[in-house]
């Protein structure tokens, strides 16, 4: 019922948002007679702010057209390599007419970035992707909005997430021999599970696994996000935050955790900060500070664009990760494609080098939660494990913004390069000497 009420409200507000946008342009256009008074700039700013508060935010584009590789502008072609019911494996293929640059691009390592399925679209990692493209072949999991997935496509469980990751890793391994995998926030847990299961079966595992700001062990330094998931029962979540998709979407009837509820939770964590940001935006518009105003628009175009999550996946994540702590307790069983139960055993990983990254001020995944992966992966030599704490960085700062580009990324790049040949290749090279 709540979802229907929200959709009704959104539909009712849509014409008012359109009116506010038109009025803002009317009062800001220098050729308009309404703009010829001292208050026109303030009126325009007020209408613009109303428009942005009322409008519906659709999925943004990655919009990465070119990147600079050692002074050469390289074109980027974005394409879908694998299309699954709930996810697209998206590749950012690089092109160059410069022969030397092209040879360099071909020799660079392939990286699978597993984006979070926790309310926002994969475009939240736009800065991560753009930066990684300087030195890597980049793929990303682009998760679909569950309200757009018809019921006949089936359900989506946490086990399915794990199997998707396994399939995508195998795809890159088939294409390049092997690959590296990077997970940001929520997927650190299912990615570690996927690699563990591959290792237990004797499959080739990725050369490196980079885990950034994720709840490997949510018991350590629990945040407000962790406390909510841990202090409410599974039944409470199922009764209070799960709704069916209304009839005006392709996924009508699907049980989901709606994106608007997740967005409300995001805003409720720091309401004063968001209020101040919108007021600052209003002042920037009045002052004619287009640069600051555009920065605000870009941030909230991404922040306000949210997606629905399939109810089974969401509820199982709550129970497995935040209530039973099944990964760290060694009790997590995943149903295989053949229907058999497979125990997740991180200790079976032997050859995949591990890098964990945490932000000092992270208020979503607390200190020590990601680093806990090292204590689970006892089969990996300490020489192939590394942990980084980024001073002064919050959750988003470890994968986006100046700290990511200047502090975190150089270490990620060097870690991947250091382990790109894998231990087997290094042993072979040592014997040849």
Once rounded to an integer, what is the mean pLDDT over residues 257-276?
87
Residue 170 burial (CB count, 10 A): 14
- Greater confidence (62 vs 428) lies with 62
Q: Is the pLDDT assigned to residue 39 strictly greater than 60?
A: yes
pLDDT at residue 422, as a whole number:
62
Once rounded to an integer, what is the mean pLDDT over residues 366-372?
95
Confidence tier at 31 by pLDDT (50, 70, 90): confident
Confidence tier at 350 by pLDDT (50, 70, 90): very high
Residue 268 burial (CB count, 10 A): 10
Residues 73-94: pLDDT tens digits? 999 999 999 999 999 999 999 9
- Greater confidence (388 vs 227) lies with 388
pLDDT at residue 359, as a whole number:
95
**Contact between residue 276 and residue 222 where contact means Cβ atoms under 8 Å apart:** no
Once rounded to an integer, what is the mean pLDDT over residues 91-118?
95
Confidence tier at 423 by pLDDT (50, 70, 90): low
Once rounded to an integer, what is the mean pLDDT over residues 62-69?
94
Q: Quick one: CA dihedral 160, 161, 162, 166, positive or negative?
A: positive
Q: Is the pLDDT assigned to residue 430 strictly greater than 80?
A: no
Q: Is the pLDDT assigned to residue 427 strictly greater than 50?
A: no
Query: What is the DSSP-derived secondary structure letter of residue 161?
Result: H
In CATH, the number for domain 66-238+310-432 is 3.40.50.1820
Q: Is the pLDDT assigned to residue 115 strictly greater than 50?
A: yes
Once rounded to an integer, what is the mean pLDDT over residues 167-195?
97
Match 């300087």 to its residue by tokens. Answer: 134
pLDDT at residue 433, as a whole number:
36
Nearest residue to 361 (alpha-carbon basis) of 230, 221, 175: 221
Q: How far is CA 115 from CA 26, 105, 123, 145, in A?
A: 40, 23, 9, 14
- Greater confidence (431 vs 210) lies with 210
In whole angstroms, how large is the CA radius of gyration of the chain? 23
Residues 325-344: pLDDT tens digits? 999 999 999 998 888 999 99
Q: Is the pLDDT assigned to residue 354 strictly greater than 80?
A: yes
Question: Three-class SS string for 212-256?
Answer: ECCCCCCCCCCCHHHHHHHHCCHHHHHHHCCEECCCCCCCCCCEE
Query: What CA–CA distance (Å, rounded) separates 65 from 92?
Result: 9
**Contact between residue 226 and residue 320 where contact means Cβ atoms under 8 Å apart:** no
**Strand pairing class (353-359; 208-212):** parallel
Lowest mean pLDDT among 19-33, 61-75, 159-173, 344-358: 19-33
- Greater confidence (14 vs 197) lies with 197
pLDDT at residue 29, as a whole number:
87
Query: What CA–CA distance (Å, rounded) separates 242 from 146?
Result: 13
Q: How far is CA 60 from CA 91, 288, 294, 299, 301, in A?
A: 17, 25, 15, 11, 7
Give the whole-number percent of the chain exceeding pLDDT 90. 78
In the structure encoding, which two tokens stand for residue 17, read together? 């948002």
Contacts of 219 (CB under 8 A, 6+ apart): 325, 328
**Contact between residue 115 and residue 142 where contact means Cβ atoms under 8 Å apart:** yes
Residues 198-226: pLDDT tens digits? 999 999 999 999 999 999 999 999 888 88
Per the rule left: phi > 0, alpha: psi between -120 and 50, beta: everything else, 71 is left
Mean predicted lDDT score pLDDT of the chain = 92
Q: Which stretches of 77-139 are DSSP H helices? A: 99-107, 126-132
Q: Quick one: CA dihedral 408, 393, 276, 280, positive or negative?
A: negative
* Residue boundaries of the structural domains of the chain: 2-56+259-303, 66-238+310-432
């Amino acid at each position: 019922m709540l979802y229907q009420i929200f959709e009704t409200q959104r539909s009712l507000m849509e014409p008012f948002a359109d009116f506010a946008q038109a009025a803002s342009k009317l009062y800001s256009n220098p050729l308009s007679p309404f703009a010829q008074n001292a208050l026109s700039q303030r009126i325009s700013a007020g209408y613009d702010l109303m428009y942005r508060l009322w409008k519906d935010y659709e999925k943004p584009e990655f919009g990465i057209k070119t990147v600079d590789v050692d002074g050469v502008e390289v074109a980027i072609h974005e394409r879908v390599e694998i299309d699954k019911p709930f996810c697209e494996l998206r590749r950012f293929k690089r092109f160059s007419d410069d022969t030397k640059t092209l040879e360099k691009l071909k020799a660079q390592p392939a990286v699978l970035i597993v984006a979070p399925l926790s309310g926002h679209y994969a475009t939240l990692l736009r800065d991560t992707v753009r930066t990684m493209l300087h030195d890597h072949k980049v793929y990303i999991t682009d998760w679909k909005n569950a309200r757009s997935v018809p019921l006949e496509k089936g359900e989506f469980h946490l086990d399915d997430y794990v199997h998707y990751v396994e399939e995508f890793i195998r795809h890159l391994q088939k294409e390049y021999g092997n690959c590296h995998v990077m997970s940001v926030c929520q997927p650190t847990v299912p990615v570690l599970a996927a690699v563990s299961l591959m290792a237990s079966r004797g499959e080739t595992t990725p050369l490196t696994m980079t885990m950034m700001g994720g709840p490997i062990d949510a018991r350590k330094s629990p945040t407000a996000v962790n406390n909510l998931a841990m202090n409410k029962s599974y039944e409470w979540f199922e009764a209070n935050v799960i709704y069916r998709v209304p009839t005006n979407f392709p996924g009508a009837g699907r049980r989901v955790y709606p994106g608007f509820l997740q967005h409300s939770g995001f805003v409720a964590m720091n309401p004063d900060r968001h209020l101040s940001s919108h007021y600052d935006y209003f002042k920037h518009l009045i002052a004619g500070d287009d640069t600051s105003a555009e920065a605000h628009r870009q941030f909230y175009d991404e922040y306000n664009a949210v997606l629905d999550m399939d109810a089974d996946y969401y509820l199982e994540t709550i129970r497995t990760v935040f209530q039973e702590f099944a990964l760290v307790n060694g009790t997590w069983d995943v149903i295989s494609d053949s229907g058999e139960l497979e125990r997740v055993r991180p200790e079976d990983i032997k050859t995949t080098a591990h890098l964990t990254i945490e932000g000092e001020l992270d208020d979503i995944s607390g200190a020590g939660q990601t680093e806990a992966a090292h204590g689970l992966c006892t089969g990996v030599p300490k020489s192939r494990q590394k942990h980084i704490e980024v001073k002064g960085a919050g959750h988003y700062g470890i994968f986006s913004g100046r700290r990511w580009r200047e502090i975190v990324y150089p270490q990620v790049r060097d870690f991947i390069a250091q382990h790109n040949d894998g231990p087997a290749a290094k042993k072979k090279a040592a014997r040849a000497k």
